[in-house]
């Protein structure tokens, strides 16, 4: 599951006629499903982040949700996994059989990983939540609510981690806008003929 995590995506969806689309913020979704999961007996698995982040996240969640079932976590190295490494973690996750696989690799890396592996994993739900592991474990600060609502969370994050995020936001977002505009014009030309 990939959700509209940022306000610009919500606005874009509304421009294209999807007026009911609302922001589904990764950290909020995690908290809600982990709370609900206590009653339902859901098992959770965390894929992403650093080992320290995942351990802290588990500790925070066990304190907040006493009946939570955390089946495990895996922090991949900060490089592309070899096919053998990827198959090993897919097998491990499939053996554990979590009900919800939380993927916190950041976008677009998590989206590519989920797309590549969704047919291999035996899990009912896989959710990409970006930096939610870092935010909920307390390792990184979240943007103030007013910035989130105004669609400026990206700017807050860019200012917080410029060396790590400048390419994503300045180059990646520019490329996205170019492709979006190109797609809009292409669609209009097709619809006019």
Q: Which of 127, 97, 134, 92 is nearest to 111 (CA)?
A: 127
What is the CATH code for 26-153? Answer: 3.40.50
Q: What is the pLDDT of residue 187?
A: 63
Cα 91 to Cα 47: distance, rounded to the nearest angstrom: 13
Which pLDDT score, from 0 to 100, does residue 65 have? 97
pLDDT averaged over 10-residue windows placed end to end, the chain, 193 residues: 80 84 91 95 96 96 96 92 94 95 91 93 93 94 89 87 84 82 66 36
Question: What are the structural domain ranges in the chain?
Answer: 26-153, 161-193
List phi, psi (to 5°) of 69. -110, 105
The pairing of strands 43-48 and 125-128 is unpaired
* DSSP string of the chain, one letter each residue: -----SHHHHHHHHHTT-TT-----HHHHHHHHHHHHHHHT-EEEEEES-HHHHHHHHHHHHHH-TT-EEEEEE---SSPPPHHHHHHHHHHHHHH--SEEEEES-TTHHHHHHHHHTTT---SEEEE-TTHHHHHHTSSPPPPHHHHHTT-HHHHHHHHSHHHHHIIIIIIHHHHHHHHHHHHHHHHHHHH-
Euclidean distance between CA atoms 172 and 108, whole angstroms: 10
For residue 112, give both structure tokens.
């590519």
Q: Give the model's pLDDT for residue 189.
A: 45
27/130 Cα distance (integer angstroms): 9
Residues 139 and 18: their CA atoms lie apart, in Å, by 35
Give the pLDDT score at 18. Answer: 86
Predicted pLDDT of residue 58: 96
| Torsion of the alpha carbons at 101, 53, 90 and 39, rounded to the nearest 10 | -30
pLDDT in the model for residue 70 = 96
């Amino acid at each position: 599951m990939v959700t509209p995590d940022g306000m610009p995506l919500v606005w874009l969806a509304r421009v294209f006629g999807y007026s009911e689309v609302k922001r589904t913020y990764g950290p909020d979704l995690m908290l809600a499903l982990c709370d609900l999961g206590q009653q339902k007996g859901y098992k959770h698995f965390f894929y992403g982040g650093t080992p320290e982040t995942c351990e802290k996240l588990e500790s925070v969640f066990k304190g907040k949700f006493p009946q939570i079932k955390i089946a495990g976590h895996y922090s991949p190295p900060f490089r592309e996994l070899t096919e053998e490494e990827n198959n090993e973690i897919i097998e491990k996750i499939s053996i554990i059989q979590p009900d919800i696989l939380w993927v916190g690799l950041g976008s677009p890396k998590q989206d590519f990983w989920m797309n590549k592996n969704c047919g291999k994993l035996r899990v009912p739900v896989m959710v990409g939540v970006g930096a939610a592991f870092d935010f909920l474990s307390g390792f990184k600060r979240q943007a103030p609510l007013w910035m989130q609502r105004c669609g400026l969370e990206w700017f807050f994050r860019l200012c917080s981690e410029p060396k790590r995020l400048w390419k994503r936001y300045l180059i990646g977002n520019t490329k996205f806008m170019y492709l979006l505009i190109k797609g809009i014009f292409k669609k209009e030309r097709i619809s006019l003929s």
